[in-house]
Amino acid sequence: MGGDIKFDGEAIEGRRPEEIIHHGVGYVPQSDNVFPSLSVEENLEMGAYILDEIPDDAMQAVYDRFPILDERQGQKAGKLSGGQQQMLAMGRALMLDPDLVLLDEPSAGLAPDLVDDMFDRIDRINDDGTAILMVEQNAKQALRRCDRSYVLVQGQNRYEEAGDVLLNDSEVRKQFLGG
């Protein structure tokens, strides 16, 4: 199997991360997604490392979206809760106002009571015009939000539909969603 990775009509495979960032793509890894010895503010600044100067409105936009980060600006990221670290990682990815954010398992490691809040925040990011490409273990939560969903079986694309269509597909529910 082969193929190209394109964003906005331009091939980006093999490009250095800073080149991909310049194309408007942000990324939030599943784990180890903050710099624990740096402060919240320093972590956010790392999200804009390609700029000579960080616009004040970029930092403020993240603080407006995640007010707890504003309260914890000087705190070391390693001292934040898991949910707060996830917010920080998402905030860092948003520092350059990307057109697309890649999210790798955004609910992984979160306390169950924080999962809904995290998905609501992802919804708001998307509602504000940022496209989201998400890999997510919590399939039901993800499918409720997806315009387009893919189910892979042994590395092959088996299903491709709108999220609500897959949620209501009896075969998909039986095989992948616990009935």
Q: Same domain for 105 and 18?
A: yes
Residues whose CB is less than 8 angstroms from the CB of residue 90 and which lie 6 or more positions away in sequence, other chains included:
28, 66, 101, 103, 106, 121, 122, 125
Give the model's pLDDT for residue 55.
Answer: 86
Residue 134, Cβ neighbours under 10 Å: how many?
Answer: 20
Indicate whether 156 belongs to any domain: yes
**Burial annotation 158-176 (CB, 10 A radius, 16+ → b, else e):** ebebebeebbebeebeeeb
The total of structural domains in the chain comes to 2
Q: Can you give the pTM of this predicted structure?
A: 0.90
> 10-residue block means of pLDDT along the chain (179 residues)?
82 91 94 96 95 91 97 98 95 97 94 92 96 94 93 90 95 89
The pLDDT score that the predictor gives to residue 109 is: 86
Judge if 132 and 149 occupy the same domain: no
Q: Is 36 contained in some domain?
A: yes
| CATH code assigned at 39 | 3.40.50.300
**115/146 same-domain check:** no
Does 41 map to a domain?
yes
Q: Which helix (H) or strand (E) holds 107?
A: none
Kindly state whether residue 52 falls inside one of the protein's structural domains.
yes
- pLDDT for 142: 93
Report if residue 51 sits inside a domain.
Answer: yes
1 in any annotated domain = no
Instruction: Tell me: do 43 and 28 sit in the same domain.
Output: yes
Would you state the pLDDT for residue 1? Answer: 54
Q: Give residue 4's pLDDT.
A: 85
CA–CA distance, 86 with 114 (Å, rounded to integer): 11
Domain residues for the domain of 172 are: 138-179
* Orientation angle between helical segments 82-94 and 112-127, nearest 10 degrees: 10
Residue 113 covered by a domain: yes
